Structure 1
């Protein structure tokens, strides 16, 4: 996958737990965990907006594009 999800990085910077973020965003722990681990195939803009508001960040702080060749080199 070429899109890297950095929700865990932003949560650590804000010292926020998964449970706390799930409550603020009104999303289940299971769905937030799927997003956090990079297993999600899509995200609604409303969910992304709520996460950005809760973490006081921009979408680019959470989502990162990495070309496939660079991603393979990282593995």
Structure 2
């Protein structure tokens, strides 16, 4: 199976907005907690990311006290 093209929908949705709202956190505060720029978190939040490092994923999940499956889901 070929990897998705750069402009192709991956079928993965990032629930970062919902998780931040549930926890009363801002993207800026999450950026401070995980050491990732607001711009890069915004790309992830808006489903425009093409890849994510496991270390970044682990840091976000730790900061939000969630599992990877809570953050990243298959789009309907």
Output the TM-score relative to the length of structure 2. Answer: 0.84
Aligned positions, number: 67
Aligned to 2:46: 37
Q: 1:33-74: CA deviations, max 9, x gaps? A: 0001000001111000000000000000000013xxx4xxxx
Mapping of 1:14-29 within 5 angstroms? 14-29=23-38
Higher helix proportion, which one? 1
RMSD: 0.8
Could you tell me which of 3, 7, 17 is aligned with 1:8? 17
For structure 2, the residue ranges without an aligned partner over 5 or more in a row are 1-8
Determine whether 1:61 maps to 2:57: no
Aligned to 2:3: none
After the TM superposition, list the runs of 4 or more consecutive aligned residues in structure 1 that deviate by more than 6 angstroms. Answer: none
For structure 1, the residue ranges without an aligned partner over 5 or more in a row are 71-75
